[in-house]
Structure 1
Amino acid sequence: MYYRLDVVTPTGSVFSGDVYQTVITTADGEIGILENHMLLLTNITPGKLRIEKADGEVKEFAVTYGVLDVRGDKVIALVEEVFELDKINVENEKKLLEEANQKLQNENLSEEEKEHYEKQRLRSQALLDLASAKV
């Protein structure tokens, strides 16, 4: 009825425990994972991570980019950044969003620069949306 979830960032473990359900945003949209989910390896995109723990407690986070590995009774989310919803730095994200939007108007950007600023734009917009929904 439960499975093991590990949420890991480059700086360490954010969550590790038995859960009933996980809902996370992927490149194909939001997905829910229950015990014995089919094998899956997919990209995580900026959005909400909702964890329903085995004891019924629900935890919600904002996540940025990463990889989700689902293997039956074990799920691993490797993500660049994880934020508690009420700890998102709204002013900083607004600045980053504005910077990305301005840079993306430049026609002389390389493909690599365009990709970088598009990722920054999507990340900041998702974090701002989640922060405002929490209020």
Structure 2
Amino acid sequence: MIIMPGRSRQLPDSARKSDTFTGTVWADPVLPATDGVVINTVFFAPGARTFWHHHEHGQILHVLAGSGLVCSDGGPAEPLRPGDVVWVPPGERHWHGAGSGSYLVHLAISLGTTVWAEEVAGAQGAGPRPM
């Protein structure tokens, strides 16, 4: 068992820049990676999002604040709002991030290895399907 006592978290001075995100994103580890499970609280600035990726054993997203989008390959971008919980099945290629008009904060629980792919093309990240 690993217990991480509550702590006051501070965002780093500079945003996390990598080859797995478009835009400004901060990731705050909730627990150290353990037994193939990675848990992060992730802040996406407006318009920021992940690249396409998939997870060996799936991923759970719990939206804490703001609003955003999640999209599986071949499907429409679906809206995300506070309180939403998303299950992404093992191997399902997807992306997620903030909408253009809001930040997004979610808890991401990634199971097994994460395999990263290419950046999301402009129109694919444009917004949710028409309602």
TM-score, with normalisation over the residues of structure 1?
0.27
- Structure with higher RCO (Cα < 8 A, 6+ apart): 2
Structure with bigger helix share is: 1
